[in-house]
Structure 1
Amino acid sequence: MPEHPLDAPMPSDEGRLRLLSAAFARLRLSMAAMPAMGFLFGGLLAWLGGNPWGFFVGGALYLPALWYAWHLLRRYRREQLESPPAELLATWQPRVQRLALAHGVALASAVALPMGSASYDFMLLVYAALMGTVAVHAAQMSASWQIYRAFFFGMTGSLVMMPWAFESHWYFTLPIAMVMMAVIYRSAIHSHRFFVRQVALEEHSRYLAERYRQASAAAETALAEKNRFLSTAAHDLRQPVHAMGLLAEAIALHGKDIPRLEGLLTQWRLSMRSVSHMFDALLDLSRIESGAVELRPAPVALAGLFDDLQTQFSAEAGARRLALRLHRPPHQATVLADPALVRQSLANLVHNALRYTPHGGVLVGARRRGRHWRIEVWDTGVGVALEEQGQIYQAFYRPRHAWEIHRSGHGLGLAVVARCVALMGARQGLQSHLGKGSCFWIELPATDAPPLAEHLAPMGAQGRYGPLHGRCLVLDDDPHVLGAWSALLGTWDVEVRLASNAGEAFAHIEAGFAPQAILCDQRLRSGESGFEVLLALLERCPEAHGAMVSGEFDAPELQEADAQGYLVLRKPVDADTLHALLAQWLRQQGN
């Protein structure tokens, strides 16, 4: 560690090497000016009638010294590429320090060159030039304190010769020069502190930037891993849940004459829908936070949204013995929003309202407010305390009173709503009174543009299914899921064929089976793309309707299927939606 009277924090070896390089470059620049200064001072002295040869010779002698300094600098820069900073400091700090001392001594000796032939004014000019050189280097060469200190003490030799330079006035000029040198020395200390702190701050900034980069990369990696895990786990978990849901509906139809069994199966349905909703909310939140959701605003008819909500939640409201009322907006009521995000948001609000309303009911309505439509979901549930209303949209947060009425929630529904609304640039809010109920609302911009063609909305009577009488081909790689498909579709009087890959599916067709509906899973263990298999089957059976059925959300094939207008059903498939879909497809076939 170098010794100097400074309290500035010392940078690393690499930082100290940067300071050494800056001081070395300044030292060489100072030496490069000396030949020209020698000839200029010699010329001036000759013009004043003095002997200029001392300056001429001194300037000429600086030429080989300058070549030596240039040679050292090239060697130093070459070794910078080969040697570690600590080794370079140990080798080059003393070398450059000795060169700086020699330069200072040479400059100080310049005052002896004109003695005896120069006037008082000329000697003042020489000393002024020397003081200016010391002062300028205090602001530049002081990057390395050891180098500047060697140069400075070499220059103090000029003070020793002042009694001979100013024989009649040295007792005035010497104290003045000493005071000036002391001030310059102190200024050099402050300049060096600035250099050191600047390098230390730069190193600390780079350290923090690197820490931030590593932390950011680790966070992104962890987020990507989490999303991959959720995507894979959701598919694997949805398979048995999907099978259980289909089996529950099949059992309910076979055992509808047993009241106790009907009640238990009703609770099973509610639990299955709750689990499915949790999966959806968790994956939706993950996809939104990872930036995988692309905003696609379009005109959306509010009447169609309300019809979907009526279909989707009527059975659940009935099972909970709650009244679900929807005041359908006028047919021309249209908002500009992302269709998927606004459906997702409203579904989460209605689901939450039903879950946390022990008695009474839920009301969904819409009203025009200036250039916006406000969609409101009212309930007579437990409400939200005032002090908790600011936290209710946070992921995994649930109010204390919500735990008392329903312990199976995970605090994800409203978090998804908040993210969806923020993505659309819309507004949201709530009004709530603890123990009396709540009103959650979303405000979307109104538009006069005609709405786009909407996805199929299920229209069957929820909870009770009539016979369908048609033919359906189902592809899935899980035998339990295939068994559940067979059980449910069989109770609806649908003739079904099951396949686990494309070969088995085409074998059924070759055997004479002509499906009117084809339901195909995306992830097949044979390695085939479910969407490509579906397209091939529909090409072979042009009169059939087809849909993808998958527990995945972000698979490129599913995104492509959705973009091309094919229906994509998410596991576990809601029985009401499935029955309504097949009823429309089979009815269109004339069955």
Structure 2
Amino acid sequence: MENALRVCRAAALPAFVLSGPPHAATLFTNDALCALLGKEPAAGGQPAPIWFGAVWPAVLGAVDPLFSGDTEEPVGIELLPVGDADPATFQGVPLTQDGQTVGVLALATQAAPDDRVVARMEREMRAEIERTTAARSRFLASASHDLRQPFQAMRLFLDALCSQISDEKALSTAEMLGNAMTAGERLLNALLDISTLDAGTVTPDPQPVALDELLGQLVEEFRPQSEEKGLRLRARLCPGTVETDPVLFGRVMRNLLTNAIRYTRHGGLLLAMRRRGNRWRIDVWDTGFGIPEEQLTAIFDEFHQLQNPNRDPTRGLGLGLAIVRRLAELLGLQVEVRSRIGRGTVFSVSLEAASPLAEPPPSLATPPSSSAAAPPLTGMTVLAVDDEAMVLTGLQMILESWGCTVAAASDMREVFAVLDGLPDAPSVILTDLRLPGKVSGFDVIDRVRRLYGREIPAVVLSGETAQSALLEGQRRGCSFLHKPLHPGDLRQVLERLHGDDGE
């Protein structure tokens, strides 16, 4: 009995000793048990029926088989703690003397929770996951917007500065600054893409897509890059329709084409599609230096690069294929890679063909305009709206350097104030998507169009990539440019709109 009392007092878990006879047993407890049941610790033994109170019959019923000799196996004892905590389970073992049970030592155990406890824990975990996901979504949306803003302002200021200097050495320095900014922008965009995909906040919008049209547009988009490196870009396409998210699938193919051009020095590239049963297979072939067999899996890891030991950012960041892997999992694509050292590599993407009844929507692509024959922007009045002062100032400087008249505003109140000072309606609305309060760039577009009673061309600038925003812009016939944008891209859109307005 003395040994049992020492074990009870030294135990870290709640414990107690009952010393017989059972119906008038003396109880010895440790501090952990008193804390569990909300009772004051007491020195020495005390009557068990009084201390346990209303639960004593249940305790007595559990230990009675030990005292009666009906069993020598440990028995379970359940006590209800104070508050709303779960029931505590104890394991009681007999204390014998001369073959007779003279007492019981009971120690708390870590019992498995019952179904109700498990269900409650699952509900709490789901709620916590939902809260965490929502918080991460808000953070990524804010980070995507806020981190891109200073890059956007720097890019605009740099372009405006370059138009003001003629010294060759100063222009060379500005060009190096532009290269450094481009590297930072690429890293920022890639990291935000990775974070957004890992957060699970990207939801695909599958729809019938004319595969040959989408791939054909990509060929024309990447042809200038390949020709700049002296590479020949060929395509073997045929009519075919798939059911997928055109924006996300386009990002997969862009990353693969970018990767192929970056790691190919001589020869060319081939983009081909072919039908295999109920699936379409798209191959991106290159004549690069090839990938060692032991690296074929590692190339899809973050920041893993071949032939770039010095981490030169102009030769890529090692994130393109990591994004491909995540997007492929999201879209249910099969991505394979085969390679021969010194001969080249082929990346293959496989996806199911669409139902014969599915028809792709009409193409929304805008044919690229030629900058050589582009009309001047002199005489174009631009309503520029952005709540970031640096970006708004940069936009005003670069637009004025192109010959535009600029009405600048940071919110809806200022929009109407600057419009009062214009003799006519603005030629184009250039607005950030996120504005102070609950106002969006779409609200600005709608209000200004209603004010003048006509569909004024609009360009939306945004650091976000949400599908819902893109669809909202398409419904309004808006052009969409993602921050940080290059001023040349903005000028190309404005030149097209100015040319359309003059027709």
Quick check: TM above 0.5? yes
The question of whether the paired residues in 2 share the 8 Å contact of 1:471 and 1:494 is answered with: yes
Aligned to 2:41: 87
Q: Distance in 1 between matches of 2:130 and 2:408?
A: 41
Spell out the pairing of 1:182-331 with structure 2 (5 A cutoff): 199-200=109-110, 202=112, 230-246=140-156, 272-310=181-219, 312-317=221-226, 321-323=229-231, 325-327=233-235, 329-330=237-238
Could you tell me which of 341, 354, 368 is aligned with 1:459? Answer: 368
Partners of 2:352 and 2:467 lie apart in 1 by: 31
Cα distance in 1, alignment partners of residues 268 and 415 from structure 2: 46
Contact 1:358–1:405 (CA under 8 A) maintained in structure 2:
no
2:47 and 2:265 map into 1 onto residues whose CA distance is: 83
Q: Distance in 1 between matches of 2:409 and 2:112?
A: 65
**How many Å separate the matches in 2 of 1:384 and 1:147?**
65
| C-alpha deviation, 1:200, in angstroms | 3.5
Deviates further, 425-434 or 408-417: 408-417
Counterpart residue number, 1:136: 70
Structure 1 unaligned segments of length 5 or more: list them. 29-67, 73-78, 108-130, 157-180
Deviations 1:337-368 (A, max 9, x none): 11221012112222223333345444333222
Q: 1:3 is matched with which residue? A: 3
Larger radius of gyration: 1
Residue type of the alignment partner of 2:391: V
Amino acid at match of 2:501: Q
Query: Is the partner of 1:432 in helix, strand or coil?
Result: strand
**Aligned ranges 1:66-85 → 2 under 5 Å:** 83-84=37-38
Question: Secondary structure of the equivalent of 1:401?
Answer: coil
Does residue 507 of structure 1 match 2:438?
A: no
Q: 1:201 to 1:141 in 2, by over 3 A?
A: closer
Structure number with the higher helix fraction is 1
1:232-279 CA distances to partner (integer Å, 9 max, x unpaired)?
444333223224444566677888x99999988777666555443333
Structure 2 unpaired stretches of 5+? 27-32, 79-89
Secondary structure at 2:274 match in 1: strand
Match in the other structure for 2:85: none
SS at structure 2 position matched to 1:482: helix
Q: Kindly tell me: are residues 379 and 148 of structure 1, through their superposed partners in 2, closer, same or farther at Cα, counting changes over 3 Å?
A: closer
- Give the AA of the match of 1:12: L
Instruction: State the shift of 1:329 in Å.
Output: 2.3
Preserved contact between residue 162 and residue 171 of structure 2 (Cα < 8 Å): yes
Q: Which stretch has the larger CA shift, 230-239 or 531-540?
A: 230-239
- Once residues 474 and 273 of structure 1 are traced to their aligned partners in structure 2, the CA distance between those partners, rounded to angstroms, is 24
Deviation at 1:430, TM superposition (A): 1.2
Partner of 2:86: none
Query: Which of residues 241, 244, 268 is equivalent to 1:334?
Result: 241
Do the aligned residues in 1 keep the contact of 2:385 with 2:415 (CA within 8 Å)? yes
CA distance in 1, matches of 2:271, 2:173: 29
- Contact 2:279 2:350 (8 Å CA) reproduced: yes
Confirm or deny: 8 A CA contact 2:271 2:282 kept in the other structure.
Answer: yes
Give me the TM-score of the superposition, normalised by structure 1. 0.62
CA drift of 1:285 comes to 1.5
Alignment of 1:543 with 2:455, yes or no, is yes
In the alignment, is the contact (CA less than 8 A) between 1:335 and 1:446 conserved in 2?
yes
SS of equivalent to 1:368: strand
Corresponding residue for 1:516?
A: 427
Whole-Å separation in 1 of the counterparts to 2:177 and 2:268: 21
Aligned partner (choices 296, 300, 306) of residue 389 of structure 1: 296
CA distance in structure 2 between the partners assigned to 1:4 and 1:484 by the alignment: 81
Structure 1 residues 230 and 326: alpha-carbon distance in aligned structure 2, compared to 1, 3 A threshold: farther
Q: Distance in 1 between matches of 2:341 and 2:444?
A: 53
**Aligned pairs for 1:342-421 within 5 A:** 342-394=249-301, 396-403=302-309, 406-407=312-313, 409-421=316-328
Q: Show the counterpart of 1:573.
A: 485
Q: Distance in 1 between matches of 2:375 and 2:341?
A: 43
Task: Please tell me the residue identity of whatever aligns with 2:481.
Answer: L
**SS at 1:136 equivalent:** coil
Shift, 1:429, TM fit: 1.5
Q: Describe the shift of the 1:338–1:280 C-alpha distance in structure 2 as closer, same or farther (beyond 3 A).
A: same
Deviations 1:304-347 (A, max 9, x none): 3234424544454455x2436251623x3222111221012112
Find the residue that maps to 1:498 and give its secondary structure. strand
Cα offsets for 1:513-558 (capped at 9, x unmatched): 3223212113335874333223212322422122321223469877
* 1:445 to 2:355 alignment: no
Greater mean alpha carbon deviation, residues 349-358 or residues 291-300 = 349-358
How far apart, CA to CA, are the structure 2 residues paired with 1:496 and 1:468?
Answer: 12
Give how far 1:296 is off: 1.5
CA drift of 1:422 comes to 0.5
- Deviation for aligned residue 1:83: 4.6
Answer whether contact 1:471 1:496 (CA < 8 A) is retained.
Answer: yes
Aligned-pair CA distance for 1:579: 4.3
The total of aligned residue pairs comes to: 466
Equivalent pair of 1:311/1:458 in contact (CA under 8 Å): no
C-alpha distance in 1 between matches for 2:276 and 2:183: 34
Inter-partner Cα distance in structure 2 for 1:361 and 1:268: 31
> Of Structure 1 and Structure 2, which has the larger fraction of its residues in strand?
2
Instruction: State the distance in 2 between where 1:428 and 1:2 align.
Output: 70
Read off the aligned partner of 1:84 and give its amino acid letter: G
Report the AA paired with residue 278 of structure 1: L
Q: Any idea what SS the aligned residue of 1:200 has?
A: coil
| 1:219–1:365 distance in 2 versus 1, CA, 3 Å | same
Secondary structure of 1:509 counterpart: helix
CA RMSD of aligned residues (A): 5.3
Q: Is the 2:242–2:351 contact (alpha carbons within 8 Å) kept by the matching residues of 1?
A: yes
Q: TM-score, with normalisation over the residues of structure 2?
A: 0.71
User: Using a 3 Å threshold, how does the CA distance of structure 1 residues 458 and 135 change in structure 2: closer, same or farther?
Assistant: farther
- Which residue of structure 2 aligns with residue 478 of structure 1? 388
| Residue 13 (structure 2) aligns with | 12
Contact 1:538–1:546, Cα closer than 8 Å, also in 2: no
Q: Which residue of 2 aligns with 1:582?
A: 494
Query: CA distance change for structure 1 residues 333 and 231 in 2, over 3 Å: closer, same or farther?
Result: same
DSSP 3-state at the match of 1:291: coil
Distance in 1 of aligned mates of 2:351 and 2:169: 45
Q: How many angstroms does 1:419 deviate by?
A: 0.9
Is the 1:249–1:488 Cα contact (8 Å) retained in structure 2? Answer: yes
**Number of the residue aligned with 1:41:** none
Q: Which amino acid aligns with 2:68?
A: V
Within 5 Å, which residues of 2 pair with 1:118-129? none
CA contact (8 A) 2:371 2:492 kept: no
Deviation, 1:501, is 2.4
SS in structure 1 opposite 2:485?
Answer: coil
- 1-structure distance, mates of 2:331, 2:456: 37
How far is the alpha carbon of 1:11 from its aligned partner?
7.2
